[in-house]
Amino acid sequence: MITIAVVVILAVTFYIYNVRNFDYWKKRGIKHDKPVFLFGTNARNILMKKSRSELAEELYFKYPNEKVVGFYRSSMPELLIRDPEIMKKILISDFTSFYARGFHPYKQKVEPLMKNLFFAEGDLWKMLRLRMTPAFTSGKLKAMFPLIVERAENLQQRALNLAKKNIPIDARDLMARFTTDFIGSCGFGLDSDSINDDDSEFRRLGRDAFNPPLTTVIRGILKMLFPTICKDLQFFGHVEKRSFDLVNKIQASRNYKPIGRNDFIDQMLEYKQRGPIEIESIEKVQSNGKAERLSFELTNELIVAQVMVFFGAGFETSSSATSYTLHELAYNPEIQKKVQNEVDEVLRRHDNKLSYDAVKEMTYLEWTFKEGMRKFPSLGYLMRECTRKYTFEDLNFSVDEGVKIMISVAGLHNDPKYWHNPEEFRPERFGPEEFTSVQKDVYQAFGDGPRVCIGARLGLMQSLAGLAALLSKFTVKPAPQSIRKPPVVPTSDLVQNIDGLPLIFIERQ
């Protein structure tokens, strides 16, 4: 009898704890769906029926007249921003109140591979940003472009070999091989040949890191539902040892010193040699009101984390964006022809050789790629966390520290309020005569503000080079099994993932 009573008390306590915040948005007069026990308004994501990006986009369009909409991720309140002006305040002008991304449910214990520039918070993020910014200058980008060209030529040959078999080619897999091969070279100094080697260790690491097993997905859900109890569960635990082994092996081969190769690991070793870096804290304030000065050392753990996020950011986002652009071109042959004409004309002016300067001249190709990312942004949503109590003065309500903020990039990119006939694939939108200041604000393919993607230019150049290499040699058409609007993998989290994009590649005469 006592046991039953204890179970009942625990169940009631857990129920009360879980629903304790369910009046949070009602008190503030913010419209929201009705939350339910355990799931909040996030049931389909927790049950792996819809991705985070899809749910955010769905909520965005469900409340077309609201500037903000309430949401509950299990018991925790979140706020979806629909208004571009409010979004700009969060990302830019009021950044000090929203510098955190909010991907660490239990902040006292962050797993090693998440101590990188993308996921890091507060002072660690600021130190990493200052340290790594010099790695992405125009000069560094131009210096590594020959590596991009070499991989682009391998990409052409791979596509040619497959096209001769007269079978559909999975554009998603093809572009993932290209980006993996490039990152292996310019990031790790490895000649991984991921384009041709189906069982490349580097390729397998990429697949495993960003297509986690079901058990890892479940661990992520448990960590979200019970952050304190499940603080030791790791999302990247299944690839952590392999990642450390790989990066440490490369560092050891260089005697832990830069060797003048100018790849990403070389630059990390160079920054480590410079010793500690001092920053003004964005989290800690002295008694006189001034920010504390902090010193950070670039440890081996931090180096591994940065190298792996360099891998992840390039591998997943670029391969997703380039393959979807090819998918759209297959269904829009007249646009594809315009792109090919531009690529042919520019290459003729550059002795038919792909180069940094040649790609910079491919304006219509760039518009086309940006239009692909408008329709299907790799990062389907942005996340921030309120780091101090904040008042939305125009709407007359406040949110507390710890409340997470969502911005649906997919929603903004496909809203007819900002884009005429958004379902249409039309690269001319990005021409200087059409691309308005409002569209510039709502186009968030790389984010905005101090946490804008640090490798945006590198990703853009790598992607354009890969597309130019393919479209100069091939015409793409839908395959018999192609789906016009391919579904998003419901377990994909930050980056929207499509499970295969089969296309027919026809060699151009």
Q: Is the pLDDT of residue 1 over 60?
A: no
Could you tell me the two tokens for 448?
Answer: 């905005």
Residues 431-441 have pLDDT tens digits of 999 999 999 99
Q: Is the pLDDT of residue 204 over 80?
A: no
Q: Which of 210-219, 253-262, 284-293, 296-305 bottoms out in mean pLDDT, i.e. has the lowest?
A: 210-219
Contact predicate 133/451, CB 8 Å: no
Residues with Cβ within 8 Å of 168's Cβ and at least 6 positions away in sequence, in order, are 479, 480, 481, 482, 502, 503, 504
Could you tell me if residue 395 is inside a domain? yes
Residues 371-429 have pLDDT tens digits of 999 999 999 999 999 999 999 998 999 999 999 999 999 999 999 999 999 999 999 99
Give me the count of residues in the chain.
509
Mean pLDDT of 450-457: 89
Half-sphere exposure of 84 (CA within 13 A, CB side): 14
Question: CA angle, 219 as apex, 213 and 225 as ends, to 5°?
Answer: 145
pLDDT of res. 192 = 63
Mean pLDDT of 450-464: 90
**CA pair distance 295, 126, nearest whole angstrom:** 11
Could you tell me if residue 480 is inside a domain? no
Q: What is the DSSP string of 333-387?
A: HHHHHHHHHHHHHHHHHTTT---HHHHHT-HHHHHHHHHHHHHS-SB-EEEEE--
Could you tell me if residue 481 is inside a domain? no
Q: Which domain holds residue 94?
A: 2-475+486-507
Contact predicate 452/432, CB 8 Å: no
pLDDT band at 212 (very low <50, low <70, confident <90, very high): low
pLDDT of res. 142 = 85
- The CATH number linked to 168 is 1.10.630.10
pLDDT of res. 194 = 59
Contact predicate 205/340, CB 8 Å: no
Question: Closest Cα to residue 412, out of 59, 100, 49, 90?
Answer: 59
pLDDT band at 118 (very low <50, low <70, confident <90, very high): confident
**What is the number of domains present in the chain?**
1
Could you tell me if residue 104 is inside a domain? yes
Percent of the chain at pLDDT exceeding 90? 50
Mean pLDDT of 351-375: 96
pLDDT of res. 308 = 77
Contact predicate 144/189, CB 8 Å: no
Q: What is the DSSP string of 135-166?
A: GGSHHHHHHHHHHHHHHHHHHHHHHHHHHTTT
- Report which of residues 495 and 223 the model is more confident about: 495
Could you tell me if residue 93 is inside a domain? yes
pLDDT of res. 184 = 79
pLDDT of res. 18 = 85
Q: What is the mean pLDDT of the chain?
A: 88
Report which listed range, 246-250, 262-266, 327-331, is most confident: 327-331
Handedness of CA 466, 471, 475, 477 (dihedral sign): positive
Residues 225-240 have pLDDT tens digits of 666 666 666 666 677 7
Mean pLDDT of 4-18: 83
Q: Is 130 exposed, middle or buried (0-12, 13-18, 19+ CB in 10 A)?
A: middle
pLDDT of res. 233 = 65
Q: Which of 49-63, 276-290, 453-467, 492-506 bottoms out in mean pLDDT, i.e. has the lowest?
A: 276-290
pLDDT of res. 104 = 67
Mean pLDDT of 7-24: 86
Report which listed range, 140-154, 166-180, 392-406, is most confident: 392-406
Question: Closest Cα to residue 186, out of 136, 119, 256?
Answer: 136
Residues with Cβ within 8 Å of 166's Cβ and at least 6 positions away in sequence, in order, are none
- Report which of residues 373 and 107 the model is more confident about: 373
Beta strands 277-285 and 474-478: pairing type? Answer: unpaired
